[in-house]
């Protein structure tokens, strides 16, 4: 049960928060130059798993490549993936293009101006819909993201588990009561800024926070316990082998299938240990695994090579549900006819969209 403030306290909170935002808010962020829903949308999707300072150059590059919704809707997928390269979660940019096509075709290029309608677009959930609706269209709906969870949980000492989907409704209903109806977009952005600064997850500084007098968790020194969140399962560990095979014509290079993880990206050949071994805990030596990989290289690509394990630690990369540990195997061969993939000079590879794991492999060799 939330001990809700009275109207006077809510009014004081709004005024205090927005006065601070007007004085200290990050107005220099490129997506805050105006209230264009397209720019708001692109920035919010990019910011979902990435810090603000990291997003800025990606946002500027993306907007220069696709300055309008129509440009995004009609973009070739390879250009789209290249523009998103390094941000991860590539299904998001694919969904963005689907949503752009929906707005172009189903809404005659005019953005829906209410949260409920925005949620019907591909890849737009409650948070992003509320952010667009409030910032671009002044609809008084709270944008409940990690920052809002953290700020509201500490202000009111809410002990509901934010990992539970039903908890979002609790915070949304609270936000509906708190949000400033005259400046809903600024209110939501102020909560974002507050949650990433004075009320951050770690190294928070509530003593100097502009809203410390409203912070119930600060008053009794319990901030570190809010918000309450049960831990997600650990990502599943998967062992991979990357084949850095080089000929006079370049590296063995291929585009991944159109579905599955890293769909349509370009990489060196990648094999999971489970491609060779039914039981990943089986007691195989590295020599046996390399021999099996050499056989698959010949069978799948028509390349006969002697592979050598690259010295040093394997490359690692964590996805939402998987943790990859990639051992790099290298070989130099004469140019051979391929049954799959292509030989590509390294100087020509930069134009191909590549996932983060491939960038880490390049850094290794």
Q: Is 44 a catalytic residue?
A: yes
Separation CA 81–CA 88 (nearest Å): 10
The answer to whether the beta carbons of residues 81 and 88 sit under 8 Å apart is no
Query: Which residue in 7, 23, 33, 44 is the catalytic one?
Result: 44
Separation CA 192–CA 174 (nearest Å): 16
Nearest to 153 by CA among 168, 132, 139: 168
Query: How many other β-carbons are positioned within 10 Å of the β-carbon of residue 240?
Result: 21
Separation CA 101–CA 90 (nearest Å): 17
Nearest to 210 by CA among 41, 20, 8, 32: 20
Separation CA 89–CA 259 (nearest Å): 14
Which letter, b or e, does each residue of 291-325 get, where b requires 16 or more Cβ atoms within 10 Å of its Cβ?
Answer: ebbbeebeebbebebebeebeeebbebebeeeebe
Residues tagged active-site: 44
């Amino acid at each position: 049960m939330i001990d809700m403030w009275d109207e006077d306290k809510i009014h004081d909170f709004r005024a205090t928060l927005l006065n601070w935002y007007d004085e200290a808010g990050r107005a220099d962020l490129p997506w805050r130059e105006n209230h264009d829903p397209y720019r708001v949308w692109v920035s919010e999707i990019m910011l979902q798993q990435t810090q603000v300072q990291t997003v800025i150059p990606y946002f500027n590059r993306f907007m220069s490549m696709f300055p309008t919704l129509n440009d995004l809707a009609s973009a070739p997928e390879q250009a789209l993936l290249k523009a998103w390269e390094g941000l991860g979660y590539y299904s998001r940019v694919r969904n963005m293009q689907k949503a752009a096509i929906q707005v172009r075709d189903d809404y005659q290029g005019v953005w829906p101006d209410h949260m409920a309608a925005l949620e019907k677009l591909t890849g737009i959930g409650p948070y992003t819909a509320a952010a667009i609706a409030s910032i671009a269209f002044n609809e008084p709906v709270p944008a409940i993201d990690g920052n809002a969870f953290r700020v509201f949980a500490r202000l009111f000492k809410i002990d509901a588990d934010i990992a539970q989907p039903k908890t979002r409704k609790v915070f949304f209903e609270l936000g509906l009561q708190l949000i400033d109806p005259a400046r809903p977009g600024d209110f939501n952005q102020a909560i974002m800024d507050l949650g990433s600064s004075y009320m951050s997850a770690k190294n928070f500084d509530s003593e100097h926070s502009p809203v410390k007098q409203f912070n119930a968790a600060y008053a009794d020194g319990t901030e570190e316990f809010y918000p309450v969140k049960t831990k997600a399962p650990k990502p599943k560990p998967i062992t991979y082998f990357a084949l850095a095979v080089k000929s006079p014509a370049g590296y063995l290079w291929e585009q991944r299938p159109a579905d599955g993880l890293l769909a349509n990206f370009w990489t060196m050949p990648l094999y999971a240990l489970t491609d060779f071994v039914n039981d990943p805990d089986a007691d195989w030596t590295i020599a046996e695994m390399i021999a099996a990989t050499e056989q698959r290289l010949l069978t799948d690509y028509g390349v006969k090579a002697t592979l050598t394990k690259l010295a040093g630690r394997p490359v690692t990369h964590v996805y939402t549900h998987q943790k990859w540990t990639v051992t790099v195997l290298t070989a130099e061969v004469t140019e051979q006819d391929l049954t799959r993939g292509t030989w590509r000079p390294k100087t020509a590879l930069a134009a191909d969209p590549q996932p983060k794991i491939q960038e880490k492999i390049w850094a290794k060799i």
